[in-house]
DNA sequence: GTCCGGATTACCT
DNA sequence: GGTAATCCGGACT
């Protein structure tokens, strides 16, 4: 967990350093609040990154200022929320994959009618975006500004942080990079079980 | 102009 | 554990 200033400094340096710092921070929008428990990192030299070998159009926000939101759409239905990292022009981002709901559960349930249990509300990047009402409109929002509609704030200390391979990356696209981090004390809220639990 | 696949989810067996 | 749903951008004809 980090303060906004600490996170911004890390985002400017290295996305791999910044990503685990987001665990434990709170994502806030209106009365909605949730603790981040799972993140993934993407970089310019990473074959799985949208900006790998290309630029412009949908990934434009990826080249913007660190701390801004990069929101994009996939699989026909799903929005994904990322935090932009690295200085202007060097694309990198942190995908927020899952969170523990803390406040505004009723509003989240209304947006996630298919969620049978509270564990289903935010346990996946598409679910999290749906529960928070995040769409392309939030693309470019400054997530570190107290004035923003959607923002990250200083949260509470996470349990032990564990790293492992990312989810949903095609074989050959650096799928083995251990660039996914979870709060091991809050596995209940994570999107997918750990591939191989360290025993 | 057409085809294909994707940083996913939900439903079926 | 397998797969249909759903649609935009990029690759190719």
What is the percent of chain A where pLDDT is above 70?
Answer: 94
pLDDT number for residue A1 = 75
DSSP string, chain A: ---HHHHHHHHHH-HHHHHHHHTTPEEEETTEEEEEEEEEEEETT-TTSTTTT--SGGGGGGGS-TTBEEEEEETTTEEEEEEE-SSTTS-EEEEEEEEEEEE-HHHHHHH-TT-SSGGGTSSSHHHHHHHTT--GGGTT-BTT-TT-SEEEE-----S-EEEEPPSSPPTTSSTT---EEEEGGGGGG-SS--TT---
pTM: 0.94
Protein-covered nucleotides of chain B (CB closer than 7 Å) are 5-11
Q: Is the pLDDT of residue A133 over 70?
A: yes
Residue A145 CA and nucleotide C3 C1' are separated, in Å, by 42
Q: What confidence tier does A55 reach under pLDDT thresholds 50, 70, 90? A: low
Structure confidence by residue, pLDDT tens digits, A59-110:
777 878 999 999 999 998 999 999 999 998 888 999 999 999 999 999 999 9
Mean of pLDDT values over A128-135: 96
pLDDT number for residue A199 = 37
Mean of pLDDT values over A27-50: 94
Residue A71 CA and nucleotide C12 C1' are separated, in Å, by 28
Mean of pLDDT values over A170-188: 91
* Protein footprint of strand C, defined by Cβ closer than 7 Å to any strand atom: A 54, 56-59, 73, 75-77
Question: What is the rounded average pLDDT for all residues in chain A?
Answer: 91
Q: Is the pLDDT of residue A187 over 90?
A: yes
pLDDT number for residue A68 = 94
Structure confidence by residue, pLDDT tens digits, A159-170:
999 999 999 998
Relative to beta strand A69-74, strand A78-84 is antiparallel
């Amino acid at each position: 967990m980090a303060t906004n200033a600490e996170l911004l400094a890390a985002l400017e340096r290295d996305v791999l350093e910044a990503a685990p710092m987001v665990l434990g921070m709170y994502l806030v929008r209106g009365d909605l609040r949730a603790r981040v428990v799972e993140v993934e990192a993407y970089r310019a030299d990473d074959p799985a990154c949208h900006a790998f070998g290309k630029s412009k159009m949908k990934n434009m926000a990826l080249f913007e200022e660190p701390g801004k939101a990069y929101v994009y759409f996939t699989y026909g239905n799903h929005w994904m929320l990322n935090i932009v990292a690295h200085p202007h022009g060097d694309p990198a981002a942190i995908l927020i994959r899952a969170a523990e709901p803390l406040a505004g559960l009723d509003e989240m349930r209304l947006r996630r009618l298919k969620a049978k249990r509270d564990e289903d509300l935010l346990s996946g990047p598409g679910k999290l975006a749906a529960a928070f009402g995040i769409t392309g409109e939030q693309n470019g929002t400054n997530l570190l500004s107290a004035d923003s509609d959607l923002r990250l704030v200083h949260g509470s200390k996470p349990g032990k942080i564990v790293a492992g391979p990312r989810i949903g990356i095609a074989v050959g696209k650096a799928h083995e990079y251990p660039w996914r981090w979870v709060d091991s004390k809050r596995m209940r809220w994570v999107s997918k079980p750990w591939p191989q639990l360290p025993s």
